[in-house]
Structure 1
Amino acid sequence: MPSSARSGRVYRRCGCRDQHNKQLGARCPRLTADPDHGTWTFAVDLPSPGRRRTLRRGGFATADAARAALRRVLDAQGGGYNADPNQTVADYLTTWLQTKALTLKPTTLVRYRDYVTGDLIPNLGRLKLDELSRRHIADFARDQIARGRGLFTLHRCLATLSSALGDAVRHDRLSRNPAHPSVLQRPASPERRIWTADEAAKFLRYCHRADPFLADLFEVLVGTGMRRGEALALHWRDIHLDQHVLYVRYTLSAINNARTVLTAPKTRSSKNWIAISPRVASAFRHRAATQGPVLPDGLVFCKPDGQPLRPQRVLDRLHQLSAEADVPRVGVHDLRHLAATLPIAAGVPLVTVSKTLRHSTLSTTANIYDHLTRQAAADAVDTIAAILTRADREAARLRWPRWLRPHRDHTSGNQEHLGTPNLRAFASA
């Protein structure tokens, strides 16, 4: 006898056939005689343009299991997502990407799409979403490593899968995320090589001779700690030399290293103002003098026709100029680290450096530049020790025995200073 669960129906059926080879389904007489015969199925009518669409899913061992699956489908319909127990990983990831396209930055969406279509769907897509397990994900990771896949790339691919499955958990589509925690430990970041102040000055001097245009850009990157995309997205209306500040409103990104787009900065705190030093202001003035007509809505660093520079070109030119200037090879983002290490090493408070870099929290700055803050911490405790040691010495100097303490000279009416030993009395004794 069919039963209902909110809406829809749950019933038992089998695969037996009649004399005409037609499947009996729920009409099989053995279903009433044998409670173990057949399996449980649910059916529910779903809203669909045009005619009615009925979703049927079977193979459940118990009626409770079928009712639970039916409830998930009904809840999913109310929440606007698919809870079909036969939904594959490929179907889910495809729908997930379409949803994320409304909120992700174009560059992030392209990266997610590459991982989903190039890696996850070909290897895991045929599995049912409900059956995807941690073992499947671990097997995928091992296979990729055996094929020589880079650990950083593989870790980002697995992070994309974890993000997608995390959304499934938040929407009650899955009870848990089999990709979290990751089956692959986050690879250790390679140690960065940051220029010294002498190396940075040497590089900038050479740039001003070899490539004055990019020298202005590198002066801004080193002098402000801006990210490459933020500097390339600067408009002249964002720069206020009279107030010694500039405002970060956009970041420039390249999709597949080809099409460039302007998007919002990396974080909410990144969209902020930055102080301008006289040296950086000089770079902006030089850029304005050599660019020609300065339009408020025009880009500061751009091609002669006003089009944006490709971020990859800046990196390539940095490597080329570094080799010519005989300084170590670094990346563009390393110039941001340089802008942090120089003031930290000079004793500028960490909170000031954090505000300059526009990190969302002070702990972010402390974690990134831990190697520098350790030295600052060592200097701080050494200073505390030195202060206490001086205090101890001063106290010891004043802590004289009672018989050495100065006494009043009643005869002369003079009084020795209480803090100074009476050495004449000590000598005569």
Structure 2
Amino acid sequence: MDSNYERMRIMGKDLKGKELGRGLSQRPDGRYMARAQVEGQPIVLYGWKLKELKKELALAVDEAKRSTLLPGMDGKSITLSEWFEEWYAKYKAPTLKGGGSPSYKRKFLNYFGVRIGSKFLADIRQLHVQTAIADMLEAGRTSKSVREATGILQNCVEAAIANGLMSINPVVGVIVPKCEKVERRVLSVEEQEIFLDYLARTKSWYEEMYQFMLLTGMRVGEVGGLQWEDIDFANKFIYVKRTLSYQYENGKKTMKLTSPKTENSVRKIPFFGETREILERQFEKVKRKRVDLGERWRQPEELGNLVFLTSMGSPIGRYSVESDMRYVTKQINDMFRTEALYTGGIPKKFERVHPHALRHTFATRCFEKGMTPRTVQEIMGHANYNTTVSYTHVLDDIKLKEAERLGDFLQNKNNDETVEYSGLLGIM
């Protein structure tokens, strides 16, 4: 007898003595009765129409089998990110080399997890998925990477539907536009000054963190996972050893320190410019805040002595940084509009900035100051040289400046100055 699913062995009959099938019978009042058992759980149904009762029985048995497979789970009580962890462990990880892939999980968490991962499965609609896709593209994600993340979501959702956790597939019909190659967002020198000036004037809690990101080119997860023990003040080096990432355990979102993105991501970065002063200010600021909040300070001991924290002492995740940068961008544009009202001019526009844009900006500043591509590659932690080259951008003001230096092409004038192109090769 199958322990997982057993119907009653009694072969039932109708009132005329005709056999109806296992578990089916007809009562003296003419009603039909269907009985089954799943993992010791009895199922008893009644109905006047045998054909409809058989369908109801099949559905009830299927539902009972699913409930024993996923006890306590339904689409109204489990979030997308919680289901992803379940799906990844049971469905995907066994098919991947080595039993899992951190990059595969990061792709989902950093694209859809931070945007709609907290929604219950039963509440997710196509509009939510489409809005998330639009937000990714606006944040500078490429169409290719968004399409890959959407494919992961599709597989995850299909398994949820097969397990009765969702009734519709919100991924069906969504559109990932084929965009032209996205030019990475880089702050010009002027934009960088506006950005930093705003942080200073408003006394932003994250001022030192943003300055640090512009001085190191570190990924937002690496910044979130940086500990004071990773900083060598004597020799002026920062050691990148870990990254802070989101994970779900037993239905609860947690932050964990994991290994960096690639082997080359483990690296050391020299102090640039005001790095020491910024770190010293950060240390004193956090120290004062910890004393002010006392028992309300939320810093988790298991994550070590983190350098950068929220104003309440919590670890800083990607979503928190992205949210703050959206707010800063909005405030700067509001400031521009107010200035335009007083001057009667057209308001300037400060394009949206995302955390990775500060990494792109750092690489660009390095090349503007003549640093070699190989050195930038080591500092950025790129495994591939071409990745480093693709990170650099010749901004419009640099293009114009170089064009002016070359003088008149047709008249061959103003050619006394020799232009060194070796440094520009890494930029182009």
Report the TM range for the smaller structure's normalisation: 0.3 to 0.5
Q: Which has the larger radius of gyration?
A: 1
TM-score (norm 1): 0.47
Higher RCO structure, 1 or 2 (CA under 8 Å, sep 6+): 2
Q: TM-score, normalised by structure 2?
A: 0.47
